[in-house]
Structure 1
Amino acid sequence: MPLEDMMETPTIAWQPAEYIDPTAFDERPVTLGDGEFAVPGTVTVPRGAGPHPAVVLLAGGGPFDRDATVGPNKVLKDLAWGLASRGIAVLRFDKVTHTQAESFWGADCTPADEYVPHAISAIEALRRLPSVDTERIFVLGHSMGGKMAPRVAAADPAVAGLVILAGDTHPLQWSIVRVLRHLADNDPESLEGLPSIDDAIEQAKLVDSPELSLSTPRSDLPFGAPGSYWLDLRSYDPVATAAALDKPMFIAQGGRDYQVTVADDLSGWQAGLADRAEVTIRIYDADDHMFFPGSGPSLGADYLRPQHLDPAVIADVADWLTTVRNH
């Protein structure tokens, strides 16, 4: 089932996880950026004077809202409320691909356009809050948001550190092929509406080829994204960008994740950062791409069952954000 269909599925009302204490924090709306591509967001602030550490959340690839809603589940809302219950201020926002998809994709857009401006605006918004410790504002990205988190930190050197949850390092165009093969082996009915494996391979080869240009037809490229998007993504090395940052990092990976994998993606972070004392790398063996615990092969349809993000991930990220210090 395509990701967009999962987002639009009629849902059961979301209920807070047991690890959330709604009496521990307050929320207020915020607008990030200005003009045509301004997006709405929510800032979640723990009660009490602080100063509190704070984190900006970056959703994964696709037209996600601020909660990263998929079916009845809200991964980033789990994170925001779970962390705020533990004394951490959080800002999350609707992606521009959710609020202004047609105008955004109609231009020669890039992954940097998709993530960096609003993330920087979110960091600035947190700095203006009197209860936030301005020396401890972090960026947390999930999936493609994790891939782009080092790019955000490179654009704002005052970022205190990074949390990368299932951040991909394998080229996205080839990850698509891997996902299709996984589904073909484990859930072939879910391939309806998705490109064939052969078509995905041809699109991936085109992304890799010297023939890729701004004028390459979108219909020949993955997701119908423009050549500008793939040229920018092809030139971006998240591991090298992270390695050039003198910042602490917490990198987490689900062992059952088939979209971003231990073998193909976490191995990249390990190769580039494992010797760094300020980098913590952790695998949650039972978790899938959304960090939902389970067993057996992970399938896209699993995301449509009401679930919550692994409480161990919430606890570990909260502990890390509370105790880490940027050297």
Structure 2
Amino acid sequence: MRYAAIALLAALSLAPMASWAQSDVEVSIPSGDAVLAGTLTLPQSPARAAVVLIQGAGPHGRNQIISGTPMFKELADGLAEQGIASLRIDNAGVGASTGPRVQLFKQREPHILAAFDALAQRNDLQNVPLGLIGHSEGALVASSIWADRKDAVAFMVLLGAPGRQGRAVWVEQQSNPARFPDHSPEDHQRLRAAFDAIAEASIAADRAAVAAGVDRLFDLARATPEEIAENKADFVDRMASPEMQVWLSHDPAPVFGQITDPTLLVWGDADSLTSPLQNLPVYLAKKNPAAEMTFIVLPHEDHFFLRGEGLAPGQHRAGAMSLSPAIVKTVSDWISVQTAD
């Protein structure tokens, strides 16, 4: 196993650990014009591995709260029970982190690099294999971080990872027939074409074409005048933004194809956002032959690996969800195997 040994790129400030009995340590990490606040969760005994948790899209705090559930806190606590330390941070401009909020997912990369370097600097984690766990869009960030720190990263875990170009993923998500139950199959085809036209206009940075495409979409979706008045302007603004232009045009396959370290990829079979049926084949086709890769599809799990009592997979009710024990066990068991002496 290759352990992490890297040269630090900036001065970092982390609170020292008092003892192995301490489970949470507040951290402060300078990164460019931001200071990133986060939590380092440590196991009760010396860590067998340590990871940086990387959230999906959106202005998430360190806990990536989904439907009222702190997904990343529950993941961190579960990993700690299995001897795995983890660091999670508030995105810049969110929570206790300072600096401007990032608009493009690529802008998050220097912040995650700073967090990874901070983890490697800790005296209590020397000679401990370091890894990355990225969820959804965070999987794209993790792959890019690997390219910058390939001599330091020992392993990666990618959860609900999009494998295709952002345009294909977004169009599939938005045109899902389940979102338009009162429309015919022919209508669904027209809706899909409308979403694709909006994505094409967004990539081309053509705001007028985006607006025209949104008008066409709302007409096909039979939106009411009230719905149009409430939603159109924000939808056009978002689709015409640099954030969506970068996301829709990004293809993760070239970077992923370079990865040679052990990598675990996990999807839920009820994932409607990055369906394994659509994304797993891409990763299988693009994987580096030199890499040790494990691909798993967990039954009865959604994109966020959250469960609610009495709720079907993918159904969410705020305040009623909890992280699936299956994802914690899958990830921790795999890391334990990869980092065994």
TM tier, smaller: 0.7 to 0.9
2:274 to 255, 260, 277: 260
2:7 alignment partner in structure 1? none
Alignment counterpart, residue 30 of structure 1, candidates 27, 49, 52: 27
Structure 2: how far apart are the matches of 1:292 and 1:34? 32
Aligned to 1:240: 254
Letter in 2 for 1:202: A
Equivalence for 1:205: 200
Instruction: Calculate percent identity across the aligned residue pairs.
Output: 24
Aligned pair 1:40/2:37, yes or no? yes
Distance (Å, rounded) in 1 between the aligned partners of 2:92 and 2:240: 14
Q: 1:226 aligns with which of 208, 231, 241?
A: 241
1:288 to 2:284 alignment:
no
- Name structure 1 gaps, 5 residues minimum: 1-22, 189-195
Q: Give the direction of change, closer, same or farther, for the CA distance of 1:207–1:171 in structure 2 (3 Å limit).
A: farther
Q: Tell me which residue corresponds to 2:113.
A: 120
Is 1:166 the counterpart of 2:181? The answer is no
Alignment pair present for 1:153 and 2:146: yes
Q: After superposition, give the CA deviation of every residue in 1:4-29 in whole Å (9 maximum; x if it has no partner).
A: xxxxxxxxxxxxxxxxxxx9751011
Any conservation in 2 of the 1:169–1:265 contact (CA below 8 Å)?
Answer: yes
SS at match of 1:98: coil
Cα distance, 1:110 vs structure 2: 3.1
CA deviations 1:206-245 (Å, max 9, x no partner) are: 134xx33899999786735633x35544564323212212
Q: Give the conservation status (yes or no) of the 8 Å contact 2:170–2:248.
A: no
Shift of 1:180: 2.9
Counterpart residue type for residue 86 of structure 1: Q
Structure 2 gaps of 5+ residues are 1-19, 184-190, 212-232
CA separation in 2, counterparts of 1:169 and 1:44?
30
The match for 2:223 is none
What's the CA shift for 1:130? Answer: 2.2
TM-superposed deviation, 1:140: 0.3
Amino acid in structure 1 at the alignment position of 2:258: A
Matched, 1:181 2:175: yes
Alignment partner, residue 134 of structure 2: 141
Moved more, 79-88 or 289-298: 289-298
| 1:297/1:51 CA distance change after superposition, 3 Å | closer
| Higher alpha-carbon Rg | 2
TM-aligned CA distance change 1:54 to 1:177, over 3 Å? same
**Aligned-partner Cα distance in 2 for 1:62–1:51:** 30
* SS of 1:76 mapped into structure 2: helix
8 Å contact from structure 2 (residues 80, 86) kept in 1: yes
Hey, what's the Cα distance between the residues in 1 that align with 2:21 and 2:330?
19
- RMSD, matched Cα: 3.5
Conserved in 2, the CA contact under 8 Å of 1:25 and 1:84? Answer: no
SS of alignment partner, residue 96 of structure 1:
coil
Q: Is the 8 A contact 1:61 1:144 kept in 2?
A: yes
- TM-score under structure 1 length normalisation: 0.75
Alignment of 1:14-163 (within 5 A): 26-34=23-31, 36-48=33-45, 50-96=46-92, 98-99=94-95, 103-104=100-101, 109-113=103-107, 115-157=108-150, 158-163=152-157
Equivalent position SS for 2:264: strand
| Secondary structure of the structure 1 residue equivalent to 2:157 | strand
For 1:77 and 1:282, the matched residues in 2 are separated by: 23
Q: CA deviation at 1:290?
A: 0.7
Paired residues in the alignment total: 288
Q: Give distance in 2, aligned partners of 1:262 and 1:29.
A: 36
Q: 1:199 to 1:215 in 2, by over 3 A?
A: closer
Taking structure 1 as reference, are residues 215 and 313 closer, same or farther at Cα in structure 2, changes over 3 Å only?
Answer: same
Q: Does the CA-based 8 Å contact 1:67-1:76 persist in structure 2? A: yes
- Mean alpha-carbon deviation: is it higher for 285-294 or for 233-242? 233-242
Q: Contact between 2:270 and 2:300, CA under 8 Å: does it hold in 1? A: yes
TM-score normalised to structure 2 length: 0.73
